[in-house]
């Protein structure tokens, strides 16, 4: 009998890539998401795979979780979340509700059945910590609570506390990974790389915020999926927080220039001042750089894909999938 894994947020950018990869390894995948499978595009390549079972439901619903949960699964990869800074600012209550209530209910089910969980967190939990590169046990330095932009990192951090609370009580097997600026095919065009590709290939000027001198460590989706699977299967990862990110620091402006080079575009870039566009609800983080020593030592993981290679692969995928540009 084939082994089972569960994935929440399976119709999302990361979740769908994870499901594709795990199905190819010969597992049965049980996926939960709120997306309508009849119109979703991310799951198109595997929605009819006999080893894939899709449950359309809300992670906050006890009934939906009970229907979805597989008591004999090897692990649950918990990716369900609200993503995108714009959405944090537009509806912080939904974000907090989905993150905290959904995760709490899932933890209770996992604990009852001693099911291993891999929880996906974010580099945002480090906030404005100036001690670069960020270690997993480094301080969290977040902005004020009256700025909605910080609701996502706060909710993710609280979820981490919940996981560790149960783990410390009874040894329940869990791991946490913190992502650093993932990009690649199928990503929602609301981030610097995906949004720039989407705009330029639609003949529109891409936006560059606040001069583009902020730095990020852009990590290609294929590398991330390898790290997720290792974190969810290696025993050495139990009870650990692990950074998953490319340690090479690049400015937003550099990333934009690489995108334009790979598309062979000389379209004019639109410079945007975030204080004028969003007001005080938006606050940026100037640098995000991971220390990935733990990922290397525990998982044997190191990202293989350069930003230039990853952007080129993403652009080629977009050229072959014109529906993405709509």
The predicted-structure confidence for 182-209, as pLDDT tens digits, reads as follows: 999 999 999 999 999 999 999 999 999 9
| Band of residue 95 on the pLDDT scale cut at 50, 70, 90 | confident
Handedness of CA 143, 206, 9, 179 (dihedral sign): negative
Q: How far is CA 71 from CA 109, 165, 237, in A?
A: 9, 22, 22
Please give the CATH number for the structural domain made up of 81-325: 3.40.50.720
| Band of residue 276 on the pLDDT scale cut at 50, 70, 90 | confident
Strands (E), 46-100: 52-56, 75-78
| Band of residue 279 on the pLDDT scale cut at 50, 70, 90 | confident
Q: Would you put residue 61 in left (φ > 0), alpha (ψ -120 to 50) or beta?
A: beta
pLDDT above 70 coverage of the chain, percent: 97
Could you tell me the residue ranges of all domains in the chain? 81-325
Strands (E), 180-294: 182-183, 207-209, 215-216, 219-220, 241-244, 250-251, 270-272
| Band of residue 88 on the pLDDT scale cut at 50, 70, 90 | low
Torsions phi, psi of 77, nearest 5? -95, 110
Strand, helix or coil for residue 121: strand
If you search the block for the tokens 């079972």, which residue do you land on? 53
Residue 42 neighbours by CB distance under 10 Å: 23
The predicted-structure confidence for 214-228, as pLDDT tens digits, reads as follows: 999 999 999 999 999
Residue 237's DSSP bridge partners are: none
pTM of the predicted structure, to 2 decimals: 0.95
| End-to-end Cα separation, the chain, in angstroms | 42
Cβ-contact 139, 131 below 8 angstroms: yes
Residue 207 makes CB contacts below 8 A (sequence gap 6+) with 195, 196, 199, 269, 270, 272
């Amino acid at each position: 009998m084939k082994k089972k894994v569960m994935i929440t947020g399976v119709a999302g950018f990361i979740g769908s890539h994870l499901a594709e990869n795990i199905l190819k390894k010969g597992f049965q995948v049980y996926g939960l998401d709120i997306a309508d499978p009849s119109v979703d595009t991310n799951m198109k390549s595997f929605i009819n795979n006999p080893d894939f079972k899709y449950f359309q439901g809300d992670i906050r619903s006890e009934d939906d979780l009970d229907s979805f949960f597989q008591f004999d699964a090897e692990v649950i990869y918990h990716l369900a979340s609200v993503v995108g800074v714009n959405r944090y600012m537009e509806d912080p209550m939904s974000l907090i509700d989905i993150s905290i209530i959904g995760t709490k209910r899932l933890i209770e089910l996992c604990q009852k059945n001693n099911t291993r969980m891999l929880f996906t967190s974010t580099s945002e939990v480090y906030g404005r910590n100036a001690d670069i590169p960020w270690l997993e046990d480094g301080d969290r330095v977040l902005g004020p609570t009256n700025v909605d932009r910080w609701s996502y990192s706060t909710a993710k951090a609280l979820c981490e506390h919940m996981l560790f609370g149960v783990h410390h009580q009874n040894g329940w097997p869990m791991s946490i990974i913190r992502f650093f600026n993932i990009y690649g095919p199928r990503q929602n065009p609301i981030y610097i790389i995906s949004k720039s590709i989407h705009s330029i290939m639609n003949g529109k000027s891409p936006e560059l915020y606040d001069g583009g001198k902020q730095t990020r460590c852009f990590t290609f989706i294929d590398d991330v999926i390898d790290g997720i699977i290792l974190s969810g299967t290696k025993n050495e990862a139990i009870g650990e927080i692990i950074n998953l990110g490319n340690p090479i620091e690049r400015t937003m402006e550099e990333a934009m220039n690489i995108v334009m080079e790979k598309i062979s575009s000389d379209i004019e870039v639109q410079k945007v001042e975030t204080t004028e566009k969003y007001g005080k609800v938006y606050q940026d983080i100037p640098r995000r750089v991971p220390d990935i020593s733990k990922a290397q030592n525990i998982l044997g993981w190191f990202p293989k894909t350069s930003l230039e290679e990853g952007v080129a692969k993403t652009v080629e995928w977009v050229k072959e999938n014109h529906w993405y540009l709509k």
